[in-house]
Amino acid sequence: MNYFSTNFTLGILGGGQLGKMMLYETRKWDIRTHVLDPSNEAPSKIATDYFQQGDLMDFETVYNFGKKVDVLTFEIEGVNVEALEKLENEGVKVYPSAATLRNIQDKGVQKQFYKKHKIPTSPFKVYKDKNDLNEAIVRKELHFPFVWKSCTGGYDGKGVSVIRNAEDIIPLSSEACIAEKLIPFKNELAVIVARNPSGEVITYPVVEMEFHPEANQVEYVICPARIDETVANKARALAEKVSESFRHVGLLAVELFQTEDDEVLVNEVAPRPHNSGHYSIEASYTNQFEQQIRAILDLPLGNTDSKVGGIMVNLVGAEGHTGQVVYKNIDKILAMEGVTPHIYGKKETRPFRKMGHVTIVNKDLDKARKIAEEVKKTIEVVSE
């Protein structure tokens, strides 16, 4: 199939920043694209050949959108799976597949999947709602502290809480959830795996994630992770096993815990480009967005090695600021060594909303980490 400068059409469900960064690559290769997103202000709107505003969870909307494309992918998990299944049955290539997404979309189903496939993960139990959870505590089947996760709809620190006492349960939403054992860990790691329909598989180097203590959001992603080589090899091997089990096509971001005794456990996965791979735009031979396009179009996969050490800093809305966004001191960070800002194009800021990211590249990772801190202190995402 000839994808370049032809009528071949790639459809993307979701038009946020991940879609926008995927479109850098389709523009580079002159691949025609259609994007569906609920917001008329979606970041991807400026870069696609055809944009449609619509509900990603609505069967008819997704189905009718998908009928007009040759290959369909998504940049967000919250899409209508039944529509994807019908499209697949009618011959539209959907990557990752509806079956893969079904096993990932609901965190309860995802955790059961790990158990079934003997993939190491923290001990857990699924509860049908908040009452069910409370009853388990009363019966002393569940003990504080534990990690609460909403089965659906959680992202960027939303839908995840550490529960230390009964008061912490009060603000939780009432839907189905999982309670996980709180694992003491040394590091949060991630590995991105790429796989194409021909079965070629490749992993990116292990990255290390540093989290914001209150927002439960990643503050820094560091590549390569500052860990022992044996742990890195174990993490990449486990990520490949997870990828093999899901039989996904495209990218799979596998988030991991490195325990105190250097075991590696799967926390959760995302079947799409991921925040933990943004560093690759500046630091890798093949960035994650180009790799996603290569994988879903069954092209040869690209080199995942890093050219240079990379650190990514998330730009999130400052607390106490809601409204038209202003990026303060962006000129100051542009004067720093190896610094590249990415602004996602969201016009409205609000506290902790992801508005962009900054990559810092340097042959010396310690130096990059210091510059990253300087960037974090300097740039401010505020409202007018």
Residue 160 carries which side chain, given as an amino acid letter? V
Judge contact between 63 and 57, C-beta under 8 A: no
Query: CB–CB of 194/250 below 8 Å?
Result: yes
Is 181 annotated as belonging to a binding site?
Answer: yes
Q: Has 140 been labeled as part of a binding site? A: no
25 is annotated as contributing to ligand binding: no
User: Whats the size of the chain, residue-wise?
Assistant: 384
CB 178 within 8 A of CB 151: yes
Long-range contacts at 334-341 (CB < 8 A, ≥ 24 apart):
336/360, 336/371, 336/374, 336/375, 337/362, 337/371, 338/362, 338/368, 338/371, 339/371, 339/375, 340/281, 340/282, 341/315, 341/379
Q: 202 a known binding residue?
A: no
Burial class (CB in 10 A: 0-12, 13-18, 19+), 297: buried
Distance (Å, whole) CA 14 – CA 79: 9
Q: Are 327 and 342 in contact (CB under 8 A)?
A: no
Cα separation of 94 and 98, whole Å?
Answer: 7
Order of strands, sheet of 177-181, starting from the edge strand that comes earlier in the sequence: 124-127, 177-181, 146-150, 160-163
186 marked as binding residue: no
Rg (CA), the chain: 21
Is 267 assigned a ligand-binding role in the annotation?
yes
Q: Is position 75 annotated in a ligand binding site? A: no
Q: Which parts are annotated binding residues for ATP?
A: 107, 149, 180-183, 188, 267-268
Q: Which parts are annotated binding residues?
A: 107, 149, 180-183, 188, 267-268
